[in-house]
Amino acid sequence: MELPHIKHVPKHKTFTLLFLLFILANCGVSFPSEPQGKRQWNMTSNVEEVAGKSYDYIIVGGGTSGCPLAATLSHNFSVLLIERGGSPYGNPLVIDRRYYGFPLLQKDNHHMTVAQRFTSQDGVSNVRGRVLGGSSAINGGFYSRASDEFVDKVGWDKMLVKEAYEWVESKVVFPPYFLTPWQSVAEFSLLETGILPYNGYSLEHLKGTKISGSVFDGFGQRHTSADLLEAGNPQNLTVLVNATVKSVIFHHNGDKSETSAKGIKFIKSNGSLDETYEAYIKKPKNSTSRGDVILSAGALGSPQILLLSGIGPKEQLKSFNIPLVHEMKEVGQGMQDNPCIAILVDSKPENRLPDPPQIAGITEDFKIIIEASILPLSINESRVNIAAKIAMPFSKGYLELNNTDPNLNPSVKFNYLENENDMQECVKMTKLLNRIARSKSIAFFLGESGQNKLASTEIDLRKFCKKNVRTIYHYHGGCSVGSVVDKNYKVYGIKGLRVLDGSTFSESPGTNPMATLLMLGRYQGLKILQEREAYSC
């Protein structure tokens, strides 16, 4: 999480940080560079190895959902996974827990940095992953399953969901080796404030206070979704990194009554926009059933690629001179971000180690979730904070193109707290945070260093919310199930094209989304295999 204080890091500090990392990386301090054991699958950034080739499945975006999906499909089919960022392996900013939060401080340098910043039209600064592993490579690593109620509501197969969660958890999820002092204090303060019962360590979404799983292991190493590629079939999995997809290419049948995805057009991430390459979906000789292009480029990336490919609102495409392939005004609609209020409990920056969230407080009505962390401000300064989010916000916004360059961000507006329910929830949430911040546990932990005074009257709290609302990075929507894709994540009106990632959520899973997005990649991969098996009989 980035706090309001971290508006920008003075240039020299960024340099100091990079310089220090350079020294660490070159002076025998060894960072783990591979997942446990030797990596079996091949990664390339040589576009020539892929250009002109055909695959059963092309997955766009090697992120949280894209990697488990690619691994699963590669067992029966040939798969191209294409990612705009580079490798997470050997990069201490991704792998090492001690650098949690540092990617968010780096000055955004086109394709070189693993976090791409964007500021929503609401004025809230935000970030998205740009590396193999996606946002799971830069996030807080907090892992918590969605509730059974959510799974029911979405209509997923419960048994398969369980199997998929377990598959993920056996590979990249870890219980805490120990609780850090700040996480223990946070736990005590939540209990002291009455967020009960105490559930101990649990991956389930339960009311009360719990310790959750993490993608950081006991050695302080992060396991991104890219580690799940290890479970794929290396012979049939091509991972192309440093390549950015510009658009999907289509085929129309004779009378133009049917449009299907034929492949993708891509560029080198550090190359020119005009130097494009193509890859195609294999056409099996004997079968009517064939593979798909699957967009897993995230809540900003997937709607952006659909729009750049000519699928979206007619007027918008026209204003960017993008030829219309299929009119669909729902593309980019329903963007949501869980409003968050974060308060700093220390009075000034200190030199503490960054500390990702491990404890969660979930209120009785499941409407508010509280987490605590320590975030770096610079190489030697960090701040202790508690953050609360509205679990199921009502306010919705939209995403639109701002240009036709796939490297740049589209423009997005979330309309934080526009809905009165959200505003009321925010007031409640702020009152609760106030109580937690004043708990004896926290006062004891901080000693003399004092605490922030917060607004107290109702009017003040509404103003406070408006002014201080920020992101906890759980934004989603843009290609919602039921409006852009069907229940099988197939884009309405186009054959051979699916979307699978956070953009497909029409509402938040309530808890932190990473666990469910990792699960969904595996789950839907298994579903596709089942579907194909049924066809081939």
Ligand X SMILES: Cc1cc2nc3c(=O)[nH]c(=O)nc-3n(C[C@H](O)[C@H](O)[C@H](O)COP(=O)(O)OP(=O)(O)OC[C@H]3O[C@@H](n4cnc5c(N)ncnc54)[C@H](O)[C@@H]3O)c2cc1C
Positions marked catalytic? 474
In angstroms, what is the minimal distance from the CB of 453 to ligand X? 28
Query: How many Cα atoms occupy the beta-carbon half-sphere of 77 within 13 Å?
Result: 29
CA torsion angle 81 84 89 91 (round to 10): -170
Q: Of 92 and 349, which CB lies nearer to ligand NAG in the complex structure? A: 349
Within positions 64 to 83, which residues make up the interface with ligand X, using CB under 6 A? 64-65, 82-83
Region near ligand X per CB under 6 A, out of 174-182, 291-299, 317-325, 332-340: 291-299
Size of the site for ligand X (CB under 6 A): 41
Within positions 324 to 363, which residues make up the interface with ligand NAG, using CB under 6 A? 349-351
Within positions 296 to 325, which residues make up the interface with ligand X, using CB under 6 A? 296-299, 301, 305
Chosen from ligand X, ligand NAG, none, partner binding at 127 (C-beta under 5 to 8 Å by type)? ligand X
Q: Is 293 labeled as ligand-binding? A: no
Would you say 79 and 56 are in contact if contact means Cβ atoms under 8 Å apart?
yes
Would you say 114 and 137 are in contact if contact means Cβ atoms under 8 Å apart?
yes
Q: Is 360 in the site for ligand X (CB under 6 A)?
A: no
Task: Give the separation between CA 68 and CA 182, rounded to whole angstroms.
Answer: 33
Q: Of 114 and 436, which CB lies nearer to ligand NAG in the complex structure? A: 114
Between 66-73 and 514-536, two packed helices, what is the crossing angle to 10 degrees? 30
Q: Of 40 and 424, which CB lies nearer to ligand NAG in the complex structure? A: 40
Q: Is 406 in the site for ligand X (CB under 6 A)?
A: yes
Within positions 511 to 530, which residues make up the interface with ligand X, using CB under 6 A? 512-515, 517
As separate numbers, helices (DSSP H) first and strands (DSSP E) second, the chain gives 12, 26
Query: How many Cα atoms occupy the beta-carbon half-sphere of 269 within 13 Å?
Result: 23
Task: Give the separation between CA 417 and CA 395, rounded to whole angstroms.
Answer: 6
Q: Is 61 in the site for ligand X (CB under 6 A)?
A: yes
Chosen from ligand NAG, ligand X, none, partner binding at 471 (C-beta under 5 to 8 Å by type)? none
Q: Is 32 in the site for ligand NAG (CB under 6 A)?
A: no
Q: Is 295 in the site for ligand X (CB under 6 A)?
A: no
What per-residue string of b and e applies to 23-60 under the rule 16 or more CB within 10 Å gives b? eeeeeeeebbeebeeebebebebebeebeebebbbbbb
Would you say 145 and 516 are in contact if contact means Cβ atoms under 8 Å apart?
yes
Task: Give the separation between CA 84 and CA 77, rounded to whole angstroms.
Answer: 23
Going by the annotation, the residues of the binding site for FAD are 64-65, 131, 245, 502
Residues that bind ligand X (CB under 6 A): 60-65, 82-85, 127-130, 134-136, 138-142, 244-245, 296-299, 301, 305, 357, 406, 473-474, 501-502, 512-515, 517
Going by the annotation, the residues of the binding site are 64-65, 131, 245, 502
